[in-house]
């Protein structure tokens, strides 16, 4: 079991089987780690907002820094019109970040290493952004497929490319996060396996790799959450501020 | 990331049981997709609602409160500063005015003193002049009276001498006239 690096991604049921309309909605280890991540966010924010101090303590400071970080990210990429979507972006960023970070703990499960999870988030963002775009601009929203300053000869080709790139947004968004998470964790597991198989004599080299990779993976965990959130902001910007 | 994938590929050939029957990619097994989707939507919705309705407004309020407090404090500090500047200006004005007054008083008293000295000097000079003129007058009078007495004495001596020489008594008025005439001629030498 330890030798299979993909074992860590397997989903299994915890507790009783829940079936609604013939669909298996059982509580699984994936669900458990979603709940854990969300609960950690809840506890963190609860502690961060428990006391309102003029001079913040550490946890309050971190909560406020995160708030300002996400607020700045949104205002930089999508402008002031994106303010109503701030809670969503904040929740999304925190959720992805915590899922990634919790996944870094040994014996835990990485929720975001599953394509279905990231795909649902990406699809939700894609559909929501498209609806917002049409809602704000009507059929003029379609003009994002026609970039300005393109020669007329190239226009059909460019438009097709633009449409394909637009439609591939949810795929790229979800696969980016999922693949990064899966690859990183597989690497860690493989090196962990090497440490065991090479034993006390030869195991030190893969162990040092493992340590370095853990650091890298923590960076990747943060970076991918940031990328996921900032790409959402960019898509939102396209829908809110139609400038081509 | 390409390097990762290449490494994984290499390692997977070493670990022959990597893609064994039970494993493959568990992510692509649709058995629990519905469950994951359901729980994701449920958990994320609860998280979103609690963050949007509860936590973010609190953080925002706290940040705003702090900003307001800082702004108020800054305003107060600015007010204090302008007030102290005003006070300083007033103080400077008072200082300047008093300086002016002092110099005015100094000038006035100097002038008064000068005037006083001048007055005193003038009156002193006048007094001295008076004294001098008085003395001169006295001297003149003395001289005059002495001339008269000299005239009288010379008359008497002259009449006595004439009487003794000639035995005749000469007319007194003619003697007087002669004496006066001589004295008048010679008086310039003494006066």
Domain boundaries of chain A, sorted by first residue:
7-240
Q: Give the pLDDT confidence score for residue B11 in this predicted structure.
A: 60
What is the enclosing helix (H) or strand (E) of A24?
Answer: strand A23-24
Which candidate, B46, B67, B44, places its Cα nearest to that of A67?
B67
Percent of all residues in chain A with a pLDDT value above 90, rounded to a whole number: 24
Looking at the partner chain, which of A28, A48, A68 has a beta carbon nearest the beta carbon of B32? A28
Query: What is the reported pLDDT for B57?
Result: 87
pLDDT value of residue A59: 85
Three-state DSSP at A13 gives: strand
Mean pLDDT of A63-78: 89
pLDDT digits (tens, 9 = 90+) for A182-200: 888 888 888 888 888 887 8
**Mean pLDDT within A40-66:** 84
> Which of these ranges, A60-64, A67-71, B40-44, B173-177, has the smallest mean pLDDT?
B173-177
Residues 33-52 of B with CB under 8 A from A: 33-41, 43-44, 46-48, 50-52
Angle of helix A86-103 relative to helix B33-50, nearest 10 degrees?
130
Note the pLDDT of residue B2: 63
A196-233 pLDDT, tens digit each: 888 788 778 888 888 998 999 999 999 999 999 999 99
In chain B, domain spans: 34-187
> How much is the pLDDT for A61?
86
Mutation target for B interface from A6, A64, A89: give the one with most B CBs within 10 A: A6
* Residue pair A31/B36 in contact by the 8 Å Cβ criterion: yes
B26 closest CB neighbour out of A10, A31, A94: A10
Q: Which of B45, B48, B59 to mutate to test the interface with A (most CBs of A within 10 A)?
A: B59
- What is the predicted pLDDT for the residue at B191? 60
Output the tens digit of pLDDT for each of chain B's 191 residues: 666 766 665 565 555 444 443 457 777 777 778 888 888 899 999 999 998 888 888 888 888 888 898 999 999 999 999 999 999 999 999 999 999 999 999 999 999 999 999 999 999 999 999 999 999 999 988 888 888 888 888 888 888 888 888 777 777 777 778 877 887 777 666 66
Inter-chain residue contact B32 with A120, CB threshold 8 Å: no
Interior angle at CA A201, CA A196 and CA A204, nearest 5: 65
């Amino acid at each position: 079991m330890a030798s299979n690096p993909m074992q860590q991604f397997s989903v299994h049921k915890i507790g009783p089987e829940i079936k609604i309309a013939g669909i298996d909605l059982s509580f699984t280890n994936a669900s458990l780690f979603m709940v854990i991540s969300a609960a950690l966010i809840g506890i963190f924010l609860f502690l961060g907002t428990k006391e309102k101090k003029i001079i913040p303590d550490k946890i309050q400071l971190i909560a406020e820094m995160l708030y300002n970080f996400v607020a700045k990210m949104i205002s930089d990429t999508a402008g002031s019109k994106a303010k109503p979507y701030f809670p969503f972006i904040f929740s999304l960023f925190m959720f992805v970040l915590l899922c990634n970070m919790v996944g870094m703990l040994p014996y835990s499960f990485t929720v975001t290493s599953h394509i279905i999870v990231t795909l649902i988030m990406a699809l939700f963002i894609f559909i929501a952004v498209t609806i917002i775009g049409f809602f704000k601009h009507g059929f003029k929203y379609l003009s994002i497929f026609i970039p300005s300053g393109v020669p007329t000869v190239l226009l059909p080709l460019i438009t097709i490319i633009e449409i394909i790139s637009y439609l591939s947004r949810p795929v790229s968004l979800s696969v980016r996060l999922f693949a990064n998470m899966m690859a990183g964790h597989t690497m860690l597991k493989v090196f962990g396996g090497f440490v065991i198989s090479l034993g006390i004599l030869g195991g030190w080299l893969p162990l040092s790799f493992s340590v370095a990779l853990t650091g890298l993976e923590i960076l990747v965990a943060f970076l991918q959450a940031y990328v996921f959130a900032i790409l959402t902001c960019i898509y939102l910007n396209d829908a809110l501020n139609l400038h081509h | 990331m390409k390097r990762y994938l290449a490494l994984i590929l290499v390692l997977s050939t070493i670990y022959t049981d990597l893609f064994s029957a039970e494993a493959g990619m568990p992510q692509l097994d649709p058995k629990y997709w519905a469950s994951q989707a359901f729980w994701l939507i449920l958990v994320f919705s609860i998280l979103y609602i609690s963050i949007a309705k509860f936590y973010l407004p609190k953080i925002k309020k706290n940040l705003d409160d702090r900003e307001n407090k800082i702004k108020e404090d800054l305003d107060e500090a600015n007010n204090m500063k302008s007030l102290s500047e005003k006070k300083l200006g007033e103080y400077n004005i008072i200082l300047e005015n008093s300086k002016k007054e002092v110099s005015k008083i100094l000038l006035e008293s100097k002038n008064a003193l000068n005037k006083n000295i001048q007055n005193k000097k003038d009156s002193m000079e006048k007094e001295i002049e008076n004294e001098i003129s008085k003395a001169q007058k006295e001297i003149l009078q003395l001289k005059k009276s002495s001339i008269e007495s000299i005239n009288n004495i010379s008359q008497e001596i002259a009449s006595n001498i004439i009487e003794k020489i000639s035995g005749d008594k000469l007319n007194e008025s003619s003697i007087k006239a002669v004496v006066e005439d001589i004295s008048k001629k010679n008086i310039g030498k003494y006066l």
